Amino acid sequence: MLLFKRIFCLTLLLALGACGFQPLYGQQTQSAEVIALLSATYVMPIKSRTGQIIRNELLDRVTPKGIPARPLYRLKVEIDEESQSLAIDPDNSTNRKNLTLKGKYQLFGADGKTVLFKSTAQSISSYNIVTSDFANLSAEKNARKRSALVLAEKIHRQISVYFTR
């Protein structure tokens, strides 16, 4: 039985290697080639304060040395935000909400017209509703910022994976 388990594990590892499996957080998405392609990407401005947070985070991740003088790619992101009540008390008041940020993005070529890659990403954050209006505003603002940072991370990761191809 022990020999069978060893043979099965070895076969599984060989099959994964043969199919081209690569870990998402592996060295491929952090290679010098991918970093060079990312650094030649211009992140276009995004509407709203949340869009500003997403763009700033993308700039930090994609072009940490500054905006490229002659970008080879342009990244356009459009965000959509929705709020959903989760927990409702017997008196019909909400005491928990989900804040969902959806980002549709397109990677254009240098001409700004040719779409090379497009996809979507989504991030959800929850927050509690209490009796204090100030606490509610602060919690909502914090949830929005957390979702924006996660959304930027997902977009960065997906574009990095695209550039490894």
Q: What pLDDT score does 1 carry?
A: 64
20 phi and psi angles, rounded to 5 deg: 90, 15
One-letter amino acid at 20 equals G
Q: What pLDDT score does 12 carry?
A: 64
| DSSP per residue, 89-143 | -TTS-EEEEEEEEEEEEEEE-TTS--EEEEEEEEEEEEEE--S-HHHHHHHHHHH
Each of the 165 residues of the chain gets a pLDDT tens digit; together they read: 677 777 776 676 666 555 555 554 454 446 788 888 888 899 999 999 999 999 999 999 998 888 888 889 999 999 999 999 887 777 777 788 899 999 999 999 988 889 999 999 999 999 988 889 999 999 999 999 999 999 999 999 999 999 887
| Cβ atoms within 10 Å, residue 62 | 25
| DSSP per residue, 43-70 | E---SHHHHHHHHHHHHHHH-TT---SS
CA-to-CA distance for 5 and 27, rounded, in angstroms?
30
Write the CA distances from 104 to 64, 126, 163, integer angstroms. Answer: 23, 21, 18
**Structure-block tokens of residue 137:** 């505003």
| Cβ atoms within 10 Å, residue 43 | 24
Q: What pLDDT score does 13 carry?
A: 62
Q: What pLDDT score does 55 carry?
A: 95
Domain assignments of the chain as residue spans, ordered by start: 25-164
Q: Of 115, 123, 126, 117, which is closest to residue 154 (Cα–Cα)?
A: 123
Which 8-state DSSP code applies to residue 161? H
CATH (residue range 25-164):
3.30.160.150
Q: What pLDDT score does 7 carry?
A: 76
Residues with Cβ < 8 Å from 146, sequence gap 6 or more?
Answer: 123, 125
Q: What pLDDT score does 5 carry?
A: 76
Q: What pLDDT score does 87 carry?
A: 73
